Amino acid sequence: MVFFTDKDNTPYSIDQPEQFLSQKAISRRMKTNVEITEVDLPVDPSYVSDLKANGIDVFYTTKWLNAVLIQTDEANLDLINSLSYVSSVEYVAKNQRLKSNNRNGKISRTLDHTIAINANQNKSLGINTLQHEGFFGQGVSIAFFDSGFKRINHIEAFNHLFTDDRIDYIYNFVDNSLDVFNSEDHGTKVVSIVAGVITNEFQGIAPEANYLFCVTEDPQSEYRVEEYNWLFAAEKADSAGVDIINSSLGYSFYFSDPTMDYSFAELNGETTVVTRAANLASQRGILVVTSVGNDADPINTEGPWEEISAPADAFNIISVGSTTYDGSISSFSSRGSTADGRIKPELVALGQNAVLINGLGNILNQAGTSFSAPQVAGLAVLLWQKYPDLTNLELRDLMLDMGDNSSSPNNIFGYGTPNYNITLSHNNYNEKTSFHIQSNPIKNGKLVVKFDSKAMDQEFSIYDAMGKRISSQKILSESHLIDVENWPRGLYLLLIEGGQKSVEKFIIK
């Protein structure tokens, strides 16, 4: 990696973001009140041109870190370091790894599209209810960073992605090509949980979302360059306006070059390259979901590591651990905390014998936090489709509040398994009493609650996320208007109590 000193003479301007960001990306910044700054400006193209003029092969740029990835002989390092616009050079991998190729790609095919409802593991998150309500991910964009997406372009379970032109971008950052449907099927398995559909047999969580497939991981070796690949892919995802990144990857103790290994002290949310990239993506309104790691298994003797892997230590993301069918933690699921004491993982989902589709198109069971993360990411897709006005941080807060361990989070289960059925559905109250929230999430600082006639003379209360009652009123009319302008953003519970029965709904502000 060659790092530049400045962007002083770049032809790009933050006053014209449409030159380097998609309209969707710009809209996301506006919604989340994220300012477009110099960090978002592309690297100075004259610096890139000058490197090339000096015979240096330049492959990828990173605007967030103001640097480029090059492939060159060691003999050229003195020349590179002598250039006035170069601040530093970092070695990230050995040998020739990249080849010349066209770096722009989009796939469009015409194949059949089918939808089926199954996959029992979805019920543990309430996915079935959201799909029954009509949410399948339409309008939400999710990027997958992985080692390969073998035969997604030939497997029937993914036909609908091509029929409906739902693949917005593909790229292999490992070898600089469009070969993402390669020999590695780890990404195929991960994606299948969210996108795969086999009629009457397998139902992906969000088959109508839009997808980006990025190969950032080299399964043949482990070098620091793969963290930079993650960074390049994240910047591409940001520019394209992606809403969610799923990363079933992790970096810790096991680099091919031991000098690149991380210590636990460096898992502080601000040190590793991939963690810094995840932070930058989150700061730009993207929800980053990543596996927490599989290093807690006592039979693992490869090294002294039992903790989480980067980028799971990043701030304001969701790292995901693995549970078994009975809800206990999987023996391999990495435990927190971070080096600076933050709870990790944030959430857990079924990762022991998870149901998925492999690169041959077969349904099978496999284990790993790699397969818990996409379940949580898929839930996030559907929730964001249902609540499009939420920011990434508000959505994250909502999902943590939905966890079945949210009242007492710890470094094994985090906030627990999020379940839409339990959290956002209310008790049936024998259908005797019901009420409707006019706008949920709340808009314009006004909470409007419509009650049916059977609720008259009963009392309703509102509690904050900590269980503190902040409002209590008797129901005297069918419509109640409550001023919530000064309430902090977050999750609230509205509860009607009558005798031994109650009706409750969660409200988002």
The per-residue pLDDT for range 222-254, each reduced to its tens digit, is: 888 999 999 999 999 999 999 999 999 998 877
pLDDT of residue 256: 87
Nearest to 334 by CA among 360, 364, 357, 303: 303
What contacts 505, CB < 8 A, 6 or more positions away?
424, 426, 435, 437, 440, 493, 494
pLDDT digits (tens, 9 = 90+) for 15-71: 888 888 888 888 888 877 788 889 999 999 999 999 998 889 998 899 999 999 999
Tokens of 188: 């195929």
Give the DSSP per-residue string, 16-49: -GGGTS-HHHHHHHHHHTPPP-GGGSPP-HHHHH
Model pLDDT, residue 105: 37
Fold equal for 120-423 and 426-508: no
Contact 414, 344 (CB under 8 A): yes
Q: For residue 382, give the nearest of 127, 192, 180 by alpha carbon.
A: 127
Which of 453, 454, 491, 451 has its CA nearest to residue 473? 451
CA distance 319 to 308: 9
CA distance 335 to 206: 29
Helix (H, G, I), strand (E, B) or coil at 223: coil
Strand partners of residue 348: 321
Name the β-bridge partners of 354.
366
If one counts every other C-beta atom within 10 angstroms of the C-beta of residue 90, the result is: 13
- pLDDT number for residue 155: 95
User: What does the domain layout of the chain look like in residue ranges?
Assistant: 2-89, 120-423, 426-508
Q: What is the sign of the dihedral through the CA atoms of 288, 293, 190 and 153? A: positive
What is the structure's pLDDT at 313?
A: 95
What pLDDT is attached to residue 499? 45
Report the topology of domain 426-508. Answer: Immunoglobulin-like (2.60.40)
- What pLDDT does residue 112 have? 32
Low-confidence ranges of the chain (pLDDT < 70): 99-119, 297-305, 422-435, 438, 440, 454-455, 465-467, 497-504
CATH superfamily of 120-423: Peptidase S8/S53 domain (3.40.50.200)
